[in-house]
Amino acid sequence: MKRTSITTAFAVALTLGLTSCGSDNQPDNPGDDTVNAKDIDYTSANSKSWHNYMINVALLLSDDAQSLCDAWTVSYNGDEPFAATFKNHSKGAYQSALNCLEQIVDGCADIANEVGTAKIGDPYNLYMAGRTEEALYAVESWYSWHSRDDYTNNIRSIRNSYYGSLDGTVNTHSMSALIAEADPDFDARLKAAIQKAADDIQAIPQPFRNHINSSEANVAMESCASLEALLSNDLKRALNSMSGNDEMLDAIVESYVDEVVVPTYRNLVSCNNALRDAVNRLARNPSDAAFESACDAWLEAREPWEKSEAFLFGPVDQLGLDPNMDSWPLDQNAIVQNLNTGSFDNLDWSDGDSDDVIEAAQNLRGFHTLEFLLFKDGQPRRIKE
């Protein structure tokens, strides 16, 4: 997940007259008669612009998901698919199966650290420093109240990478199977740490945005830190001690690509196509039920993305697809401006554009922009006259 400055997000929040974290869903902000992000609703007056914005964002998500899958399975930068490069490990940074396994472990450790120190930790630290409004805007996926499940699915991406499967079973050709044979106690400890991190995140009271400073959030951060340490230190050391088992390591890398990465990205394509279709149906025949269906499709499309965050390397990084799809926090002021003008030319970018142009475009698209347009206070939006 590409994160922009929390300070910048807070400045946007103040510009919009947005609200602070508390026990209520969205406290009022009296004295401001502007239409701000917390108050804006889908109505007959803005429906055309709202439809066009949702359609554009959903189409871009679908296209980005397809580009990512194609880069792994069809062709990457006009060359062989990245899946072949990674499995053959004969180019660039990937000169051996061990190099590839180290990359996999680094990805797992990075997301364990991000969940603990950024996704949960940033809001927690801001809140404890008395910066409660900034804390709220540091919480990812709070429009849908889906934060805990997002973070849990990030931990599931670690499990899938270590187990070599998507269903919680241990693949014969996996890091877990290899470690279990050499050191069953460590394998058991690592599996327990993965499960504990997921369980402790789920134990945070729902929604997380209303329980940023809870004791359960503190426990979840500690569990993520413990998991990151096991991955970065112990698992890497264990794998390095097996560097001579080339045939076995090759099989693990190949299975990881074929059984974890590629199926996850194919599911991402399928779910984002379904999301695009649900948004189109909503635009053609607006109703509360159509909003509910589109929200359900968003939740389903979100899952494979979050379960891919342990492998944010290769095309997803180099093609800018992570920030395209998952930038957070949003530029809510610019989103409302787009709705007001009905112009959406600023959602896309091209090679050669400045960093500022690219970042501005990425902050107006992706999962969270669509989340903002579909959800309010953890529920599907309702049609208002």
| Chain segment 47-72, per-residue pLDDT in tens | 999 999 999 999 999 999 999 999 99
**In sequence order, what are the beta bridge partners of 384?**
43
- Specify the DSSP element, H or E, that contains 379: strand 379-380
Whether the predicted pLDDT of 37 surpasses 90: no
Cα–Cα distance measured from residue 242 to residue 263, given in angstroms and rounded to the nearest whole number? 28
Whether the predicted pLDDT of 279 surpasses 50: yes
Could you give the 3-state DSSP secondary structure of residue 284? helix
Which domains, ranges and CATH numbers included, belong to the chain? 6-380 (1.20.1420)
Mean local confidence (pLDDT), 246-250: 93
Cα–Cα distance measured from residue 91 to residue 107, given in angstroms and rounded to the nearest whole number? 19
Q: DSSP of 68-119, one letter per residue?
A: HHHHHHT-BTTBS-HHHHHHHT-BTTB-SHHHHHHHHHHHHHHHHHIIIIII
Phi, psi of 376 (to 5 degrees): -150, 130
Cα–Cα distance measured from residue 236 to residue 110, given in angstroms and rounded to the nearest whole number? 13
150 half-sphere exposure, CB direction, 13 A CA radius: 27
Tokens of 251: 């099989």
- DSSP H helices, the chain, are 6-16, 47-73, 82-88, 97-113, 121-128, 132-137, 147-163, 175-182, 184-202, 215-229, 236-240, 246-256, 262-284, 288-306, 315-318, 321-326, 332-341, 355-362, 366-374
For 83-117, how does the pLDDT look when each residue is reduced to its tens digit (9 = 90+)?
Answer: 999 999 977 788 899 999 999 999 999 999 999 99
Cα–Cα distance measured from residue 9 to residue 131, given in angstroms and rounded to the nearest whole number? 13
In which residue are the tokens 């108050």 written? 39
Cα–Cα distance measured from residue 134 to residue 329, given in angstroms and rounded to the nearest whole number? 11
CB within 8 Å of 269: residues ≥ 6 apart: 62, 65, 66, 69
For 179-238, how does the pLDDT look when each residue is reduced to its tens digit (9 = 90+)?
Answer: 999 999 999 999 999 999 999 999 999 999 999 999 999 999 999 999 999 999 999 999
pTM: predicted TM-score of the whole model, two decimal places: 0.91
Phi, psi of 384 (to 5 degrees): -120, 140
The share of the chain scoring above pLDDT 70, in percent, equals 90
Give the burial class of 313: count Cβ atoms within 10 A of its Cβ; 0-12 exposed, 13-18 middle, 19 or more buried.
Answer: middle
Whether 140 contacts 147, CB under 8 Å: yes
